[in-house]
A and B are shown apart, each in its own frame.
Chain A
Amino acid sequence: RKEVEQDPGPFNVPEGATVAFNCTYSNSASQSFFWYRQDCRKEPKLLMSVYSSGNEDGRFTAQLNRASQYISLLIRDSKLSDSATYLCVVRGSYIPTFGRGTSLIVHP
């Protein structure tokens, strides 16, 4: 089993839709969790950290479920500009482990 697993997609949704991605991790000692966004042929950029109590940033909501060892990202009111690959990141000690990413395509 991979340390961090994501459904590669693509998720193909219309503008305005709500879409959710999950990411599972295998190391129960993992301490920190993040979502990064990566546009085609660009470098990854931090989208948001994921806190135990869940957190929201505008249209984006991140949740952590330690018991089931997964994190989620919810995007509401999808925009064309949300089209990208979303990478989840899990950190145990100081080595971050990236998932393979989930591709999102938002169409008009």
Chain B
Amino acid sequence: QVQLLESGGGVVQPGRSLRLSCAASGFTFTSYAMHWVRQAPGKGLEWVAVISDGETYKNYAASVKGRFTISRDSSKNTLSLQMNSLRPDDTAVYYCAAAHDSRWHTFDYWGQGTLVTVSS
């Protein structure tokens, strides 16, 4: 049974950092690119970042580039998102999603999300 379980969300002050994790199981982690997607309260989904199955390629949305870093540990089947210099508009539910390496544009599996609130 495929499972993606996000953790690490919480309330953080503007300018501070937070690290999200996503534990994957039930599928061949090394055959999938991994994404982070977020949804701010009352708004639609926004793609945040992607990392290739071999970690050689990473890309970010303009809104987070230079502040967020995506990484993965294939020995532990985990995905991470290091978020620095957080801003109030980063407040959102953050989802991790897996995309088979033959079609990165399709989010085959999703987690249930973890809430990040940036507020003083």
Whether A associates with B in a native complex is no
> Chain A: residues with CB nearer than 8 A to chain B?
none
> Chain B: residues with CB nearer than 8 A to chain A?
none
